[in-house]
A and B are shown apart, each in its own frame.
Chain A
Amino acid sequence: MRIFIAVAALVFAAMSITAYAGKTLDAIKKRGRVRCGVSNGLPGFSSPDSKGKWKGLDVDVCRAFAAAVFGDSKKIDVVGLSAQQRFTALQSGEVDVLTRNTTHTLSRDTALGLNFAPVNYYDGQGFLVRKALGVKNARGLNGASICVIQGTTNERNLSDYFRKHKMKYKPVVMENNNELFKAFMAGRCDVFSTDASGLAAQRSKTKKPSELVILPDIISKEPLAPAVRHGDDEWLDIVKWTVYAMIAAEEMGITSRNVKRMKKSSDPDVQRLLGVIKGNGKAIGLTETWAYNIIKQVGNYGESFERNVGKNTPLKLARGLNGLWTTGKNGLMYAPPLK
């Protein structure tokens, strides 16, 4: 009987009643923390380090929300979510925002009742080949044997791409990602194909990652973006402009290191972003230092990219589509003016 009472007591203790009526920001402020739903583990995007702290590109965005709202990037609750759970968790209010490598699609944006923030990572299907093969881009893959996972969109993208370019290939299909990669390493196929970030993760497991190259071509669209619930425009604004602020900061050359100095910059765009010229903060419903805090504590988009998936990490991903539009390569990162 005592056990029953104990259980009942625990149930009651764990029942927390949070009142929010469309006002996500109010709920967040009352709770004192931003709750983000992330992937249970995706190298470079969200994974726990050896001390149990979540890190990654998706986690950085979450930290940026906390920096914007509270001026303290540590005030986050990270909730690991499986692919099946993620949308229910957002809709039921278990999390405030999904930063969980979720592809922005029409049906999710409309029928599922989500609103997407700007893309924080452009992923897409790519090709991994041995350097020794001497192939420079996907057009050189005519007649190649390609390892691809069975029953995925990857398999279909591949046949579409080769048909479109009137090229031939020999598919080698398996169900299991790790076995497929072993087959590739054993020489069963010339090319290994899956989403580019996945290619990088597999490559980092090998003895000599430098002997494998990811081709620059991306043959499918997987724009990964943070998402919030329909019906709370105020919170959507904050989420949206937090991502933009990180991109804009990189564009203006503001980093976590020089942000303090940049406050003295004479550039009015920089002054507006950092809150020296007031107005942005009031408009978005936060303090004037919201963007300053993001850059100071989390860094600009480029810093976050390099720290988590960039050249000096095991993943060694090139900026590619995720570079700034100003670099003249094929970067897509573009923030509207913050004024």
Chain B
Amino acid sequence: MTGVARNRVLDWIKTNLFSSPFNIVLTFLLLFVATKLLWNFLDWAVLRAVWGGDAETCRHGAGGACWAYVRDKARYVLFGHYPYEQQWRPQLFVAIFFLLSLLTQFKRFWSKYLTAAWVVLPLGAAGLMWGGFFGLTHVEMEEWGGLPLTLALAFLGISASYPIGIVLALARRSEMPVIRALSVIYIEVIRGVPLISMLFMAAVMFPLFLPEGITISKVVRAQVAIIMFASAYMAEVVRGGLQSLAKGQYEAADAIGLSYTKKMVFVVLPQALKAVIAPTVNTFIGLFKDTSLVFIISLSDLMFTTQASLQDADWLGFTVEGYIFAAFVYFVFCYFISFSSSRLEKELKV
């Protein structure tokens, strides 16, 4: 560190942390509290933690975290009830998603091939999990669980609700009164109802309306509910983008005689969608976390497997460790989404 830089740091500390007696006290107080909290956590999570063995080892350990629990249960939490010996299939599924997301980070890979890959590969991966060909055993959708289910619910939810949301937003700003009214009613009704109640409708009420003997997979019912829910929110985000656009853009497009479709596709939407990347990603992240609500209707997503793993009679009482692990997994994915969006904003120079 050069002398100038050191001076600058000292200056910053002086002006921001020690500018008055009150601030000095406050700084030390906060420093003390923060260190204490951090130390307590480290003490629990690292120093006194138990890293291997079984529940008894943990109970008679130094009273720290029981990571042995996470070690034993991680595979169940991540891949749920998918047959244990066949779990390379969901592992491959997650790997494919990871690889695609990674490639999409870099603009030089953007091409129609990548778009095609985003359609073909997830479908192929889903087919792999479904099985029933090339000697792969068929695995019922009800047995899919853990991370792949969470990812699939979120991915399909996002990729279906985005276009539906755009259509709804355009409909809401349409000059045709019936279309506009339908869109407004849909958006307001869905936004007025909590996601939980929609999931309950899908899981508990809906089967009673079907004729006896016909069952639609619970996974599909929940997925449709999530898409319906997310679309309404997405519509309002897109509408925000449409409103932010200067009126001149619409008028200019009209003036050169573009049709409605061309006006929207080539002039309005590219600008409007670009303007609302941040709130769009906000909705995506919300949706990703909302998928955890499906545990209430007993779909074995990440949240469900976490909770179920806590009920194993051999491993009772490690609730905190279980939830920390689940929180960590959710954080990794949500942070990845938000990181990608800030890269995207830079690439598109918003």
Which A residues fall within an 8 A CB radius of B? Answer: 2-4, 6-7, 10-11, 13-21, 40-44, 47-54, 56, 77-82, 84-85, 88-89, 91-94, 178, 201, 204-207, 308-309, 313-315
A80 to B300, CA, bound (A): 8
Which residues between 192 and 219 of chain B lie within 8 Å of chain A, taking CB atoms?
200, 203-205, 207-208, 210, 212-219
- A-contact bits for B52-66, CB 8 A (1 contact / 0 none): 000100011000000
Bound-state CA distance A20–B213 (Å) is 6
Q: How far is the CA of A14 from the CA of B219 in the complex (A)?
A: 9
Chain A CB within 8 A of B307 CB: yes
Known: A18-B213, A52-B79, A93-B213; 11 extra A-B contacts, CB below 8 A, are A3-B159, A11-B220, A17-B213, A47-B313, A48-B312, A50-B309, A79-B298, A92-B215, A93-B212, A205-B59, A309-B313
B297 touches A42 (CB 8 A): no
Asked whether B190 is an interface residue with its Cβ less than 8 Å from the other chain, the reply is: no
Query: Which residue of A is nearest B200, CB measured?
Result: A84
A50 touches B72 (CB 8 A): yes
What distance in Å separates the Cβ of B196 from its nearest Cβ neighbour in chain A? 11
B319 at the interface (CB under 8 A from A): yes
Contacts of B179 in A (CB 8 A): none
* A43: nearest chain-B partner, CB-CB: B313
Chain A residues with CB under 8 A of B316: 43, 201, 204-205, 314
Taking CB atoms, residues of chain B closer than 8 Å to A92 are 207-208, 210, 215
Cβ of B310 within 8 Å of any chain A Cβ, yes or no, is yes
For the complex, give the distance between the alpha carbons of A20 and B140 in Å.
Answer: 20
The answer on a CB contact under 8 Å between B141 and A40 is no
B93 to chain A, nearest CB (A): 14
Query: CA–CA, A229 to B178, complex, Å?
Result: 46
Closest chain A CB from B109 CB (angstroms): 19
Residue contact A88 to B55, C-beta cutoff 8 Å: no
The answer, yes or no, to whether B240 is at the interface (CB within 8 Å) is: no
| Interchain CA distance A313-B159 in the complex, whole Å | 47
Q: Indicate if the CB atoms of B80 and A52 lie closer than 8 Å.
A: yes
User: CA–CA, A18 to B304, complex, Å?
Assistant: 27
B55:A93 contact, CB within 8 angstroms:
no
Please report which residues of chain B, range 157-213, place their CB below 8 angstroms from some CB of chain A when the two chains form the complex.
Answer: 159-160, 163, 200, 203-205, 207-208, 210, 212-213
Task: Provide the main secondary structure of the chain B interface.
Answer: helix
Contact with A along B278-289 (1 / 0, CB 8 A): 000000000000
Q: Assess whether B213 is in contact with A207, with CB atoms less than 8 Å apart.
A: no
Instruction: Report the separation of the CA atoms of residues A264 and B130 in the bound assembly, to the nearest whole angstrom.
Output: 46
Judge whether B298 and A40 touch: CB under 8 Å. Answer: yes
The 3 closest A-B pairs by CB, nearest first: A41-B311, A205-B317, A92-B207
Q: Once bound together, how far apart are the Cα atoms of A41 and B73, in whole Å?
A: 14
The reply on B337 being an interface residue by CB < 8 A is: no
12 A-B pairs whose Cβ atoms sit less than 8 Å apart in the complex:
A4-B160, A10-B126, A13-B130, A15-B220, A20-B212, A48-B308, A49-B314, A50-B72, A50-B75, A50-B76, A93-B212, A205-B59
Bound state CA distance, A178 and B203, in angstroms? 29
Shortest Cβ distance from A2 into chain B, in angstroms? Answer: 5
Q: Which B-chain residue is minimally distant from A3 (CB atoms)?
A: B159
Chain A positions within 8 Å of B217 at CB level: 14-16
Determine the chain A residues whose CB is within 8 A of the CB of B22 once the complex forms: none
Q: Are B313 and A44 in contact (CB under 8 A)?
A: yes
Q: Are B76 and A88 in contact (CB under 8 A)?
A: no
Chain B residues in 8 Å Cβ range of A14: 141, 216-217, 219-220
In the complex, the chain A residue whose C-beta lies closest to that of B208 is A92
B84 touches A53 (CB 8 A): yes
Query: Which residue of A has the minimal Cβ distance to B209?
Result: A92
Q: Does B81 contact A (CB under 8 A)?
A: yes
Q: Are A77 and B76 in contact (CB under 8 A)?
A: no
Residues in B neighbouring A94, C-beta threshold 8 A: 207, 215, 218
CB distance A80 to B308 under 8 Å? yes
Residues in chain B near residue A309, CB distance under 8 A: 313
Name A41's contact: one of B82, B159, B210, B307 (CB within 8 Å): B307
Whether, in the assembled complex, B142 has its beta carbon less than 8 Å from a beta carbon of chain A, the answer is: yes
Tell me if B24 counts as interface (CB < 8 A to partner A).
no
A19 to B214 CA separation, bound complex (whole angstroms): 7
| In the complex, chain A residues whose CB is within 8 Å of the CB of B84 | 51-53
CB-based contact B298/A48 at 8 Å:
no
- In angstroms, Cα B55 to Cα A79, docked, is 27
Q: Are A91 and B163 touching (Cβ within 8 A)?
A: no
Is B296 on the interface with A (CB-CB < 8 A)?
yes
Contact of B308 among A10, A20, A40, A85 (CB under 8 A): A40
B97–chain A nearest beta-carbon distance, Å = 15
B309 touches A48 (CB 8 A): yes
Q: Which residue of A lies closest to B212 (CB)?
A: A93
- Contact between A19 and B213 (Cβ–Cβ < 8 Å)? yes
- Closest partner residue, chain B, to A16 (CB atom): B215
Are B73 and A91 within 8 A (Cβ)?
no
Chain B positions 105-137 with a Cβ under 8 Å from a chain A Cβ: 119, 123, 126, 130
Which of B145, B160, B224, B310 is the one whose CB lies under 8 Å from A3? B160
With A15-B216, A50-B75, A92-B208 in contact, is A7–B308 under 8 Å at CB? no
| B276 interface hit (Cβ, 8 Å) | no
Taken together as a complex, chains A and B put the C-alpha atoms of A54 and B205 apart, in Å, by 27
How far is the CB of B5 from the nearest CB of chain A, in Å? 51
The answer to whether B298 touches A82 (Cβ under 8 A) is yes
Closest approach, in angstroms, between the C-beta of B284 and any C-beta of chain A?
15
- Cα separation A18 to B140 with both chains bound (whole Å): 14
B73 neighbours in A (Cβ, 8 Å): 50
